[in-house]
Amino acid sequence: MARSTVVTGDDNPDVTGSPPTQQHSLRAGTTAQMLPLVAGYGVNLLVTPFIVLRLGMHDYGIWSVTGALAQYAALFDLGVSRAVTRFVALHHARGERREERAVLGVALAVTAGLGAILIALCALAAYAFEGSLHTGSVGLARTLLLAAVVILVTGMLARVIAAAAFGRGRMIAGNAGLAVQTGLIAVGGVVGLIVEPELATFAVASALGGVIGLVVVIAAVLIDERHFPLGLPTAEITRDVIAFGLKGQVLGIGDIVLFQSPKLILGFIVGPAAAGAYDLGSRLALGARAFGSIASVALTTHMTRRFAAGGDGAVRDAYLPLVRINCGVSIFAPFLLVATSVSAIPLWLGEPNSDVLWAAVILSVAFTFNVATGVSTAATLAIDRMRMLIWSAVASCVLALVLAIPAGFLFGYHGVVVAAAAAVILGVAVGVVLVHLALDVPIRDYLTNVAPGYAAAAVGLIASVPIGILAQPTTRETAILPFLLSAAVFTTAYVAVAAALKTLPQVRGRRQQPDRQPT
């Protein structure tokens, strides 16, 4: 575990006199990443059944497609939000305070400008949106698009501010603020539906929650660091951030095409209800994926510091041990969802739904390959060799569209889900090979270090999946016991095998050098 350190910046003192930032350890940072995930996905899991009940699957599907369209609009931020953590961490480690502050200034300016443009475009886009999904009126379509843009932009601004704090090694306050924001968006929508069970009210109330949440994030960072390290953009920093961001934006395109395009394809080819079912299943799978990738931001910051201190060699030295541990930790949550899915769906929604189950299981398995590459991605970002990741993202995008569109026409809902999963797996395979070429690490070393985690998962699934299949629960009441039992069996088997294969973090024993301080 990385120890907490203070970067003095003596070689390049802060001209404003702002003190250097006390940094959280890698373990503390990784744990802090769980805050917005637990709050966001936890609250959403609780409120989604109520939302679906009040709106109906058709209107819920329309809202899902609206959100997917808004995510595509995020691509126009030039990738700066993805560059913030890396450049703040780099300049902070070097004691370059003015450059560090300018990074945040560039990112906020670009994000705010994007928001203004998107809000202006909503009026025009509303006509096409209403014509495609038949929302009932252009006014409703405009309201939905505006609400989605507000949620998108406030979320992006909050993540930029938090990402700057992450780059300075301050993980807790920013994550706590993001947790509150994600929770407020979900709770706001519920309150809106209680006041009036209409799609427009739900959308506006959700957007209001996003605005309030942005204020909370800003306040959390201010309280934690006692100052807001924002500076005016400079030409040099703008050029560096945007150049890096544009390369990283291909990764953003890959994520959006992979995770949002299936909803659009289903919404336009099969219908809004199919898009809603996919959204519910993918929401569970993406939640498991998010918990599996909680270390990603902390790993990127950690690897960037190693690069700043010792170059490529320092990153390479830490690579394989982290790959083994990251795989053991990251694939647990997606496979736990697979193990409990037969009972988890009725426990969540109140009744079984084969379409939601299909998407949750197929996508969860595919996402294990994605989260297992977290260290590869972090190392490549740290040493700024993104070319390999870009090719992986391009491969995923092409595969997703080439496979999903014809699959939707030929095989309907199930074909689109399988095509989306295949695109994830094949894109990851391309990325792993290319990243290892960039790092000059044999691919067999990667496979050797991820195999134990998958072996533990296989044992856990064999022991736990039959429980839900035999029980076949149809209500929340009948789903509780098989869910708890299958979760307990999978967890016990997985942890036992993974620990034996040394693919989980080791608990520090008592044998320790006398002069070492506890971490």
Listing DSSP states for 162-213 in one string gives HHHHHHTT--HHHHHHHHHHHHHHHHHHHHHHHH---HHHHHHHHHHHHHHH
- Collapsing DSSP states into helix, strand and coil, what is residue 136? coil
Q: What pLDDT does residue 254 have?
A: 67
CA distances, 131 to each of 5, 13, 128, 409 (Å): 57, 58, 5, 21
> pTM here?
0.69
From CA 436, how far away is CA 15, in angstroms rounded? 41
Q: Give the model's pLDDT for residue 473.
A: 94
- The upper half-sphere exposure of residue 376, i.e. CA atoms within 13 Å in the direction of its Cβ, equals 31
Q: What is the pLDDT along the chain (519 residues), one digit of tens a residue?
A: 333 333 333 333 443 444 455 554 455 555 556 666 666 677 877 888 899 888 888 888 888 888 777 766 666 667 777 788 788 878 877 888 888 888 888 888 888 888 888 888 887 777 777 666 666 677 888 888 899 889 988 988 998 888 888 877 777 777 788 888 888 998 999 999 999 999 999 999 999 999 999 999 999 888 887 778 788 888 888 888 888 877 666 666 667 777 778 888 888 888 888 888 998 998 899 888 877 777 665 677 677 777 777 766 777 777 888 888 888 889 999 999 999 999 999 999 888 999 999 999 999 999 999 888 888 777 777 776 666 667 777 777 788 888 889 998 999 999 999 999 998 898 888 878 877 877 778 888 889 999 999 999 999 999 999 999 999 999 999 999 999 999 999 999 999 999 999 888 765 544 444 444 333
What are 42's two structure tokens? 């936890």
Give residue 514's pLDDT.
41
Q: Nearest 10 degrees: CA dihedral of 343, 420, 441, 384?
A: -110
Query: Residue 163: what pLDDT?
Result: 83
User: What is the Rg, in whole angstroms, of the alpha carbon atoms belonging to the chain?
Assistant: 23
- Give CA torsion, residues 483, 484, 490, 495, to 10 deg: 150
Which pLDDT does position 233 carry in this prediction?
Answer: 82
Residue in 452, 441, 433 with CA at minimum distance from that of residue 326: 452
- The residues spanned by each domain of the chain are 21-233, 250-505
pLDDT of residue 467: 96
